[in-house]
Amino acid sequence: MKGGPNNEEEDGLHFVLLPFMAQGHMIPMLDLAKLLSLRGASVSFITTPLNAARLRPSVDRAASVSPRPISLVELPFPSAAAGLPDACENVDELPSPDLGLPFIKSTKLLLGPSLHYLRHHHPPPSCVITDSFLPWAREIAREFGVPRLVFQGISCFSTLCIRNLREHGVLERAGSECERLVVPGIPHEVAIKKSQMPGTQFKDLRAEMREAEATADGVVVNSYEELEREYLNIFRATTGKKVWMVGPFSLANADEGDKIVRGKETSSEYQCMDWLERKEPKSVVYVSFGSIGRLSPPQTAELARALEGSGRDFIWVVKSWDGLPEEFKERPITERRMVIMGWAPQVAILSHRAVGGFVTHCGWNSTVEALCAGVPMVCWPLFAEQFFNERQVVDVLRVGVGVGVENPNGWAGEEAGELVKREAVEKALEEVMEGGAEGVGRRERARELGDMARMATEVGGSSFVNLTRLIDYVWKCESTKDVRES
């Protein structure tokens, strides 16, 4: 029988983590790997060479404080065999959103190499934690006879909203795409347009993902009980599964250097911090639409006019110069603005005392990172479950305001969403940055949620205890397996 958590490496637990190859999926799963490593487990983090190179600085920093280093397992990804351009190993490398579904399906080509690696690795897996976008990973857990946990990268709130609209037949009864649908079976009154539902274009894949989730042994959630306890209880009752809320994962990066290298190193990271140091507390607006989200050129131009017209200092992360005024291209850094191309150290920026508001696409990672920092949000959802996240931020938590987006934009700005006018953006910025008594209340609620997040991850906090329970569950499964095999 294998020994307890403090035994030598060959007798310890071995977690295998398989993230989907997109920054918004890999980064929180790497944070989870850090948390497991800090508890003495060995972790194999399976990915591809390009993604491993991006994550290496963060893994190297973690090695200095973790009892056991995280193994970055680099498996070559056959882009050509998948019908993709060479070196397409991450969603943000895809030249067209039309390649999104082929890319997701092509990840199954990693199944064989993953099995080959694990068959020749010691110790064998104790548990497989897999992204919900990789339903084929159940074959790995089946071969080794170990529990398989699904990593859920969105909130219990959004998961339940989507599930209830589908399972209660609300979508089927809806008429036009513009009809507002009230979500049944949840504690708060939430309504959303049919067109804002995620995943309609990936019907076959969604069915396979739901089947894989239904047969999983449990769910790991990047959230914390104090944030959405009501929804956690309903989620557990609905699924009948073990659910461990062990987040926010971003708080695994307590050191300033960890925050800066999280995800990807850039040339602008320290310049960005120096720029913020010159600003007054809560005076800067941070603008980012995530690792793949982008606006159309006309919308980009309108947002630029709104930011300039607001009179606020701002940091804006962009994916392209298209639509930006010429003066932004010629002078991306001035006393009032800093325009960053490509990637920025978001957790470090949001945690800085100078940042007072966040214009966000409402991806769950960005949302929970803002909550951890106590920063209120201007919500500008683009696609996926982001419209539900907006409702959670605005209607349930009451720590943000909507900018007025009604229709999906698509992750590359390819869908015909409406143009959000400058006046609407300026109004939302004013509400978040000032907003009178309502603004003060919004900011205080955000601060309280940030305090709760930090307490949850500290020793004895809810997320700390839940991670202990998860590890104990895997130990019990290991013990049972050893008895069966002896």
Residue 9 has pLDDT above 50, yes or no: no
What pLDDT does residue 414 have?
58
Q: How many CA atoms lie within 13 A of 216 on its CB side?
A: 29
What pLDDT does residue 255 have?
77
If you average pLDDT over residues 282-288, what whole number do you get? 98
Residue 77 has pLDDT above 70, yes or no: yes
Cα 132 to Cα 140: distance, rounded to the nearest angstrom: 14
Lowest mean pLDDT among 193-197, 229-233, 458-462: 193-197
What pLDDT does residue 79 have?
87
Residue 404 has pLDDT above 90, yes or no: yes
What pLDDT does residue 266 have?
65
Average pLDDT, the chain: 91
As given in the structure block, the two tokens for residue 416 are 């015909």
On whether the CB atoms of residues 325 and 301 are closer than 8 A, the answer is yes
Name the burial class of residue 329, with classes exposed (0-12), middle (13-18) and buried (19+) by CB atoms within 10 angstroms of its CB.
exposed
Question: What residue has token string 């290298």?
Answer: 261
Question: What residue has token string 């037949």?
Answer: 169
Confidence tier at 416 by pLDDT (50, 70, 90): low
What confidence tens digit (pLDDT) does each residue in 318-351 have?
999 999 999 999 999 999 999 999 889 999 999 9
Geometric angle at alpha carbon 223, from 218 and 229, rounded to 5°: 85
As given in the structure block, the two tokens for residue 292 are 């793949």
What pLDDT does residue 349 have?
95
Q: Which among 104-108, 267-271, 460-464 has the top mean pLDDT?
A: 460-464
The amino acid that residue 146 corresponds to is V
What pLDDT does residue 11 have?
59
- Print the SS3 string covering the chain: CCCCCCCCHHHCCEEEEECCCCHHHHHHHHHHHHHHHHCCCEEEEEECHHHHHHHHHHHHHHHCCCCCCEEEEECCCCCCCCCCCCCCCCHHHCCCHHHHHHHHHHHHHHHHHHHHHHHCCCCCCCEEEEECCCHHHHHHHHHHCCCEEEEECCCHHHHHHHHHHHHCCHHHHCCCCCCEEECCCCCCCCEEEHHHCCCHHHHHHHHHHHHHHHCCCEEEECCCHHHHHHHHHHHHHHHCCEEEECCCHHHHCCCHHHHHHCCCCCCCHHHHHHHHHCCCCCCEEEEECCCCCCCCHHHHHHHHHHHHHHCCEEEEEECCCCCCCHHHHHCCECCCEEEEECCCCHHHHHHCCCEEEEEECCCHHHHHHHHHHCCCEEECCCCCCHHHHHHHHHHHCCCEEECCCCCCCCCCCCCCCCCCCHHHHHHHHHHHHCCHHHHHHHHHHHHHHHHHHHHHHCCCCHHHHHHHHHHHHHHHHHHHHHHHHC
As given in the structure block, the two tokens for residue 38 are 């800090």
What confidence tens digit (pLDDT) does each residue in 152-194 have?
999 999 999 999 998 888 888 877 778 889 999 999 999 999 8
On whether the CB atoms of residues 157 and 388 are closer than 8 A, the answer is yes
Residue 415 has pLDDT above 70, yes or no: no
What confidence tens digit (pLDDT) does each residue in 34-61 have?
999 999 999 999 999 999 999 999 999 8
Residue 96 has pLDDT above 90, yes or no: no
Residue 418 has pLDDT above 90, yes or no: no
If you average pLDDT over residues 341-368, what whole number do you get? 96
If you average pLDDT over residues 125-151, what whole number do you get? 96
The amino acid that residue 306 corresponds to is A
What pLDDT does residue 65 have?
82
Residue 483 has pLDDT above 60, yes or no: no
Q: Which domains does the chain have, with CATH numbers?
A: 9-252+456-485 (3.40.50.2000), 266-453 (3.40.50.2000)
On whether the CB atoms of residues 123 and 145 are closer than 8 A, the answer is no
If you average pLDDT over residues 197-209, what whole number do you get? 75
Nearest to 129 by CA among 12, 13, 4, 11: 13
Q: Which residues contact 227 (CB under 8 A, 6 or more apart)?
A: 155, 371, 397, 449, 452, 453
If you average pLDDT over residues 187-213, what whole number do you get? 83
Confidence tier at 380 by pLDDT (50, 70, 90): very high
Lowest mean pLDDT among 82-86, 155-159, 412-416: 412-416
Residue 6 has pLDDT above 50, yes or no: no
Cα 250 to Cα 259: distance, rounded to the nearest angstrom: 8
Q: What is the pTM of this model?
A: 0.93
Residue 265 has pLDDT above 70, yes or no: no
Cα diameter, the chain? 72
Residue 147 has pLDDT above 90, yes or no: yes
Confidence tier at 4 by pLDDT (50, 70, 90): very low
What pLDDT does residue 268 have?
67
Residue 5 has pLDDT above 50, yes or no: no
What pLDDT does residue 395 have?
96
Measured over the CA atoms of residue 396, residue 397, residue 398 and residue 399, the dihedral's sign is: negative
Residue 101 has pLDDT above 90, yes or no: no
As given in the structure block, the two tokens for residue 198 are 């995620």
Pairing of strands 14-18, 377-379: unpaired
